[in-house]
Structure 1
Amino acid sequence: MNHTVVDYVNAAVTTHPDKVFLYQGEEQMIFREIDEQSDRLASALLDIGIEKGDHLAINALNQFEWLVSFFASAKLGATLVTLNVRYRDSEIEYMVNNAEVKAIISIDSFAGFDYVAFYQNLRDKLPTVEHYLFIGGGGFEGSYDVADLLQVEVNKKRLEQTKQQVKATDPLLIIYTSGTTGKPKGSMITHKSILASAIAQRDHFHVGEEDLAIGALPLNHVGGITCTVMVALVSQSSVTLIPFFQPQQVLQAIQEYKATILGGVPTMYLMLMNEKDLAHYNLSSLRLCIAGGSNVEPKLALTLSKQLPNATLVNLYGLSETSGACVLSNLHDSVETISNSIGVVIGDFQGKVVDTEGREVPNGDVGELVIKGDCVAQGYYQMPNETAETFSSDGWLQTGDMVTKDASSYISYKGRKKEMYITGGFNVFPVEIENILTTHDKVQLAAGIGIPDEFLGEVGRFYIVPAADTNPTEEELREFCLSHVSDYKIPKEFIFVSDVPMTPAGKIQKAKLKENGATNPQNS
């Protein structure tokens, strides 16, 4: 595959220039408009010195400007680093510096948080950032207003020459995914890899021009940008953007726009099904409900099939490292199959289940899922050792997920190879939170695990050994965490203990914490 995202924008504009690509509340944007606006922003970015190979960061909600920035960056051959609006100082500082970001595009405020002041205060700690662009009218001296840049006259000759230099193998996105060390790793997704995943998903689910998807999954993850928006681009269908997940807004959008495709994590579906006014909405237009992040458990699968009788429920498995979906349920799968299996490897991708030596295991045996194909990302930015551990020289991606495969090639998910847990569809690695907690002057040691939760799937339980002569409280530790990391990473439980089980080498035995709990609990 030698095509780029730019080629698919051009194809959509040629075939359906006046067809609505994106809806946002009462507004809409046709394919020609997204092309024209991204041309203007790309031209403006060229004017301020952004060139092929440069890194831009985007920190916004699911909104037109996010996607205009995405397509503008793609047209320049630049790489867009996707940030979550919930990230705070330690996360932003690490990711922006690690990715060597040259310009940041951000909303100016959201939910009472002032991003203009946030970035102004953080500027000295972000030495590679030369330009700040704000969405919404706010800004500080020397920053740019994105609305102004969207009025720039396009230097067509210069922009066309720039577009011609973009190659399928160029990095398109850097999406950060936490590692076992707690350091987030920037997965480099190329034009080729994102298109491979999107096209395979389109073909597997028979997505066509008449489809309309609900875009409620965040665009800074592959669930939003690849599995929703890029699938719509390659099928020349439409997306209704939901700025951030709100059950009533999603239900209203399904009814108003007669949406045919809904994607979400199981927690989102649970919230929708628990909405008190659910019966008042007409959801009969839905033909496909895609659940990613974790298996749909049997009770929820049955509820969905009852409440949405016209919709087919399917699982989606994918990673930042596979640029999007690589394993999907078949459309004819039963509710029982959906509950027990994440599906089959799609497109022309390959999948194997292997042991610790990389040898394929017999059907039914648990092993690590490895994936090969054009969907596999280029590696982790500036992390050669981590890249070598995960991306093999012969093209196989080590997913770190433990699965089984049956004689029909259906894959059943068994758990994570390491310690990560998933809360409400978000990946959380305990060591990242442990590293934060142990900077608190009242904490000597912190050890976190994921424990089952009926609503969120899993939540964090952290065992705390207090520093000498101190008596930390749950509330102050929770507030401390909240000032450093996203709210979904905040532990649900704190257990205060005098010690935790250790190996002779001095490593915390988290398996024992899961099995038996810590010794000598003081309080919880």
Structure 2
Amino acid sequence: MSTPSGNFGELTYEAMLLSPDKTAVISEGIELTYRQLDQRMNQAGQLFQRYGVRKGDRVAILFPNDIRYLEICFGLMRIGAVPLPLNIKLGNEALTYILRDSGAKVLVFHETMAEKAAELTDATALDHLFAASDTRSFPFAHSYDRLVAHMPVSLSIVPMASDDLCLLIYTSGSTGNPKGCMLTHGGQWWNADTNRKVIMLDRDDRALVAVPMYHKNAMINAVKPVLMAGASMVILPRFEPAEVAAAIHQHRCTYTTGVPAMYKMLLAHVKEEPRYDLSSLRFIICGSSEVPPELVSELRERLGVAILEAYGLTEGGPQVLVSPRWGIHKQGSAGLPLPDSEVRVVSTDGSNRVLPAGEVGELWVKNPGVAKGYWNLPQLSRERISEDGWLKTGDLVRLDEDGYGYIVGRKDDMMIIGGENAYPKEIENILLRHPEIEDVCVVAIAHEMKGKVPVAFVKTVRLSTLTEQSVKEYYIRNGPAYSHPRQVVFLDEMPLNGTGKINKAALVEMIAEERGDRHVSGS
């Protein structure tokens, strides 16, 4: 689905035609209809035009979850500008790099981000700075709230070609500097509309958004398909289990999206505080990492919902695989490729052989939503995206005989242990079968004899009697001995990053400090 303008900022086009007075979004006591939201997007576009923002200009947005994030993001698209969502959890060094690399001349920030914005302003050359509301600490910043309220509610939408730049989203930069993924208007129309149909959204659905909107999980699994479908959404500023349960109960939300760590916390809260009625939930989407079988069983038993696992990456669509709401559900699988999306599993030995079902290799993806390249990185763009449009994801996967994808891990996470290949996710899956292990994360460390070996960080259930030795023995009984964890570290809680996933970098740093960066010896 698209509009005559081809501009993805008009994603509310159908809802405005069919149900302009229907509730579009609810957040922190504010409720907007589609008509009101559409007008606010237009006003945001008008404001930035008044300050010289034109087609192709990048505008950085430093916001937690907030209704204004939506109107700014899609308002910018409507004038042909390019929103640059910033991960508010990143350090100032990474954010400064992104602002400089992108060439952004405008920064819009939430009032809670004032201190971070001040440091970024000192380190970058910005033409304009907009503070969402309070500008007392920023006398040189424009007040977004005050100015936007006086803008006209109508706007001439700037027509956009299918391959025009729509969004510039920087990846987390786990290796090297963050990389800007260039997503197009046509690609975003296709991905959002296709995902909307696959998860079978209709106007009666009401999504709960508690994951960060600057991340693809929230945008592609909720925000974009909801606004295209004319459904409704409830936005929370952050994930807090009590607030999530209360919002589902109060607003009768029909689905939500998140990551396994969040659902574990929600279940723990529901057990202790069972007073909220969560029966309105029809399904939940879980992306970013595999859902342990025990968690799936408990979610189904406790909440009575279908669990749709999904996989995507910023430059890959973003959505690539998703479990269908109908037909066969396979535990541990991220689902089937979206319609009109091609996938293949390719050998990692340099021959680029397409592998048969059941074999592990690198996932290659081809669909209309694949990024047109990486900002200012033409060589990397050529390396990662072939001339005929295949993206080399760097993720290891296997496809079964029915085409369902199982994510094994990152290509650069693979450990060669004494000549044998091992993958952190496979080790984690074996350990998670232990009834006393609630959560686990495996990282690789250097080893004098074996090359690399796994270290397991384990969170146990309450009153567990597990020891490091008993965990190792359990693994050896249930998995290949060569890949058993050489060290087991018990944690009360797993460190999480800004998107709710386990922060592996923090775990690697933790083990490096403990070892003093020495090699591990022994078997």
Any conservation in 2 of the 1:137–1:145 contact (CA below 8 Å)?
A: yes
Secondary structure of the corresponding residue to residue 412 of structure 2: coil
Deviation at 1:489, TM superposition (A): 6.9
Counterpart of 2:383 in structure 1 is 389
Matched, 1:54 2:53: no
Deviates more, 1:51-60 or 1:166-175: 166-175
What is the alpha-carbon distance in structure 1 between the residues aligned to residue 115 and residue 9 of structure 2? 35
Deviation at 1:429, TM superposition (A): 11
Aligned equivalent of 1:415, options 409, 432, 446? 409
Counterpart of 2:237 in structure 1 is 243
Which AA in structure 1 matches 2:129? Y
Q: Deviations over 1:197-256 (max 9, x none)?
A: 211211112110110111112111111122210010121111100111111111111111
Any conservation in 2 of the 1:178–1:428 contact (CA below 8 Å)?
A: no
Any conservation in 2 of the 1:341–1:411 contact (CA below 8 Å)?
A: yes
Matched, 1:285 2:283: no
| Alpha-carbon spacing, 1:430–1:12, altered in 2? closer, same or farther (3 Å) | farther
What is the alpha-carbon distance in structure 2 between the residues aligned to residue 251 and residue 201 of structure 1? 25
Counterpart of 1:302 in structure 2 is 297
Any conservation in 1 of the 2:7–2:158 contact (CA below 8 Å)?
A: no
Which AA in structure 1 matches 2:150? V
Secondary structure of the corresponding residue to residue 184 of structure 1: coil
Deviation at 1:143, TM superposition (A): 0.8
Any conservation in 1 of the 2:321–2:334 contact (CA below 8 Å)?
A: yes
What is the alpha-carbon distance in structure 2 between the residues aligned to residue 428 and residue 38 of structure 1? 44
What is the alpha-carbon distance in structure 1 between the residues aligned to residue 291 and residue 175 of structure 2? 29
| Alpha-carbon spacing, 1:214–1:499, altered in 2? closer, same or farther (3 Å) | closer
Secondary structure of the corresponding residue to residue 280 of structure 1: coil
Which AA in structure 2 matches 1:253? A
Aligned equivalent of 1:374, options 368, 371, 374? 368
Matches within 5 A, 1:61-140: 61-109=64-112, 115-127=113-125, 129-138=126-135, 139-140=137-138
Matched, 1:268 2:262: yes
Which AA in structure 2 matches 1:343? G
| Alpha-carbon spacing, 1:294–1:284, altered in 2? closer, same or farther (3 Å) | same
Secondary structure of the corresponding residue to residue 317 of structure 1: strand
Matched, 1:221 2:215: yes
Matched, 1:152 2:144: no
Cα RMSD (Å) of the superposition?
A: 3.1
Deviation at 1:332, TM superposition (A): 3.9
Secondary structure of the corresponding residue to residue 418 of structure 1: helix
Q: Deviations over 1:437-470 (max 9, x none)?
A: xxxxxxxxxxx998544569xxxxxxxxxxxxxx
Q: Deviations over 1:73-127 (max 9, x none)?
A: 1111111111122223112111111111111111122xxxxx3343334323212
Any conservation in 2 of the 1:81–1:173 contact (CA below 8 Å)?
A: yes
What is the alpha-carbon distance in structure 2 between the residues aligned to residue 168 and residue 430 of structure 1? 42
What is the alpha-carbon distance in structure 1 between the residues aligned to residue 346 and residue 362 of structure 2? 5
Any conservation in 2 of the 1:174–1:188 contact (CA below 8 Å)?
A: yes
What is the alpha-carbon distance in structure 2 between the residues aligned to residue 172 and residue 152 of structure 1? 26
Which AA in structure 2 matches 1:53? G
| Alpha-carbon spacing, 1:169–1:255, altered in 2? closer, same or farther (3 Å) | same
Which AA in structure 1 matches 2:399? K
Aligned equivalent of 1:171, options 157, 165, 183? 165
Any conservation in 2 of the 1:289–1:313 contact (CA below 8 Å)?
A: yes
Deviation at 1:499, TM superposition (A): 5.5
Deviates more, 1:21-30 or 1:163-172: 163-172
Deviation at 1:383, TM superposition (A): 1.1
Specify every segment of 5 or more residues in structure 2 that has no aligned partner in the other structure, as ranges: 415-423, 429-438, 446-451, 461-496
Which AA in structure 1 matches 2:506? P
Any conservation in 2 of the 1:182–1:429 contact (CA below 8 Å)?
A: no
Deviation at 1:38, TM superposition (A): 1.5
Secondary structure of the corresponding residue to residue 58 of structure 1: strand
Counterpart of 1:348 in structure 2 is 340
Any conservation in 2 of the 1:43–1:152 contact (CA below 8 Å)?
A: no
What is the alpha-carbon distance in structure 1 between the residues aligned to residue 400 and residue 337 of structure 2? 12
| Alpha-carbon spacing, 1:449–1:167, altered in 2? closer, same or farther (3 Å) | farther
TM-score with structure 2 setting the length: 0.79
Counterpart of 2:139 in structure 1 is 141
Deviation at 1:11, TM superposition (A): 2.5
Aligned equivalent of 2:357, options 354, 363, 369? 363
Q: Deviations over 1:120-155 (max 9, x none)?
A: 34323212x111111231351221111112222329
Specify every segment of 5 or more residues in structure 1 that has no aligned partner in the other structure, as ranges: 110-114, 432-447, 457-481, 502-517
Aligned equivalent of 1:182, options 170, 176, 182? 176
Deviation at 1:428, TM superposition (A): 13
| Alpha-carbon spacing, 1:496–1:271, altered in 2? closer, same or farther (3 Å) | closer
Aligned residues: 447
Any conservation in 1 of the 2:333–2:406 contact (CA below 8 Å)?
A: yes
Counterpart of 1:205 in structure 2 is 199
What is the alpha-carbon distance in structure 1 between the residues aligned to residue 109 and residue 24 of structure 2? 23
Any conservation in 1 of the 2:194–2:338 contact (CA below 8 Å)?
A: yes
Which AA in structure 2 matches 1:230? K
Secondary structure of the corresponding residue to residue 321 of structure 1: helix
What is the alpha-carbon distance in structure 2 between the residues aligned to residue 154 and residue 498 of structure 1? 61
What is the alpha-carbon distance in structure 2 between the residues aligned to residue 452 and residue 49 of structure 1? 53
What is the alpha-carbon distance in structure 2 between the residues aligned to residue 274 and residue 416 of structure 1? 30
| Alpha-carbon spacing, 1:107–1:406, altered in 2? closer, same or farther (3 Å) | same
Secondary structure of the corresponding residue to residue 271 of structure 1: helix
Aligned equivalent of 2:316, options 305, 308, 322? 322
Q: Deviations over 1:409-455 (max 9, x none)?
A: 111111110149999x9x99999xxxxxxxxxxxxxxxx99854456
Deviation at 1:6, TM superposition (A): 3.3
Secondary structure of the corresponding residue to residue 217 of structure 2: helix
Secondary structure of the corresponding residue to residue 193 of structure 1: helix
